[in-house]
Amino acid sequence: MTTHKSEVLVIGGGIQGSSTAYHLAKRGVSVRVLEKDTVSRHASGVNAGGVRLLGRNLAEVELSKTAMERWQQLDDELDADTGFRARSLINIAADETDMETLRSREQQMHELGYFHEVMLDQHELRERLPHVAQHCIGGVVSEQDGYAIPFHSTQAFRIAAERIGAIFCEGEQVQSIRKVGDSWLVATETQKYQAEHLVNCAGAWADLISVMIGDNVPMSYSAPMLMITARMPHFATPVVGAVSRPLSFKQFENGTVLIGGGAKGFADRANNTTRLDYSLLASGAHHAIEFFPIMKTACINRMWSGLEAYMPDNLPVIGKSIRADKAYHAFAFSAHGFQLGPVIGEVLADLITEGESRFDLEPFRVNRYERKVL
């Protein structure tokens, strides 16, 4: 049997893996992506599509800001339609406690020199969201934020990468990984692959790949749920979130409204599937109506969830393997990795071709939980 050789082997055909392949191919590196199902089959294809800089954990702000710059040009760069629309994102404050939370966040951000989050008073909020409920007293906005169509965005990276030489192999589930000499040897059910560098972008299955590489990681996985309505009259331009309620929605140009909020269903990773928790979706519906009474009569058309990976601190793992040379990780984005996709590919390409990244990756190291009691 022939062994397929490339300089880099990426495991996982989600947005991180596809973006990594694109950036490597752009630098003339030969790269192959192994995807156990089909490209963007899981979280990368079915997430809420939020392109969000607002409210980022401080460790992620720099990465997220750079990613946001990339998103503004991404369609041109990839010569594709990712569906990206900069519509702004507003987090709504429902009471004085929420406003207090926002004020202390604002102070903290200003001290660090970040000014992209701008507070809104009740009047400004209502101007931007005329249909918001009376009891909402303010909020915070990030103007550059918006949404994209996740399946199209991930496919855009894949197609652009293929155009410049990257190879995507679908239906190839990794069964074993060995390091022999300076080479990584990866076997699937029917094929063998060899590469100098190995990248783990395996999403909800990344802990299993990690273990094969030699890094233990306390990753978990879950099934965040979403629902989308049939078309309704236009009532909200910005993407909407809430400071302290599990609410998040966006109205697309075709009038459909995508409602998220982080409620989780049940993940069945072994069977590639999820089960929904309808009572939690019911409380999500309740919050949506509470903030936007106009949504009372909105008709839910579909409900679904995807398999997503989480770390205990809700921060991703990004960076070099600790135990093995020339292996790299980018996974467990904890339900906010989609926006980072364009920059993560750059970071991994830098690590592989330059040996380092210009971003501080310390908070994301794979062994940050070693010796900690969880």
Partner 1 sequence: MINNIETPSINNSYDIAIIGAGPAGMSAAITATKAGARVVVLDDKPRSGGQIYRNVDASPLAKPTVLGADYLKGSEITAAFKRCSAEHISSVNVWHAGDNGELLFSLEGETQRLTARQIIVATGAMERPFPIPGWHLPGVMSAGSAQVMLKSDGLVRDGAVFAGTGPLLYLIVAQYLRLGVKVKALVDTTPKQNYLSSMSEITGAMSAPRMLIKGLGLMNEIRKSDTKVYRFAEGLEIQGEEACKGLSFSISGSKHEIVTEHVFLHQGVIPNLNMTQALGLKHTWCEQQLCWTPETDNWGQSSQGVIAVAGDSSGIVGAESAAAMGRICALRQLVNIGLITEQQADHEAADDLRFMRKQQHFRRFIDRLYRPLDQHRKPTNDQTVVCRCEERTVKDLKQGFALGGREPNQLKSQTRCGMGPCQGRMCGHTVSELLAEWRNEPVADVGYYRLRSPMRLVTLQELSRFTNLTPVSTVDRASSGTSDSDVEANKEQELAQ
Contacts with partner 1, residue ranges (CB under 8 A): 38-40, 45, 151-152, 155, 159, 229-230, 259, 273, 275-276, 278-279, 281-283, 285-286, 288-289, 295-304
- Rounded CA-CA distance 339/239 in Å is 14
Q: How far is the CB of 19 from partner 1 (least distance, A)?
A: 17
- Rounded CA-CA distance 198/213 in Å is 9
Q: How far is the CB of 298 from partner 1 (least distance, A)?
A: 5
Compare residues 5 and 231 and give the one whose CB is closer to partner 1.
Answer: 231
CB 359 within 8 A of CB 347: yes
Compare residues 260 and 319 and give the one whose CB is closer to partner 1.
Answer: 260
Compare residues 40 and 91 and give the one whose CB is closer to partner 1.
Answer: 40
Radius of gyration of the chain from Cα atoms?
21
Three-class SS state of 237: coil
Q: How far is the CB of 221 from partner 1 (least distance, A)?
A: 19
Three-class SS state of 368: coil
Q: How far is the CB of 223 from partner 1 (least distance, A)?
A: 12
The phi, psi pair for 363, rounded to 5°, reads: -65, -15
Compare residues 298 and 352 and give the one whose CB is closer to partner 1.
Answer: 298
Compare residues 120 and 247 and give the one whose CB is closer to partner 1.
Answer: 247
First to last CA, the chain: 45
Amino acid at 351: L
**Cα-Cα-Cα-Cα dihedral of 197, 203, 208, 210, to 10°?**
40
Q: How far is the CB of 257 from partner 1 (least distance, A)?
A: 9
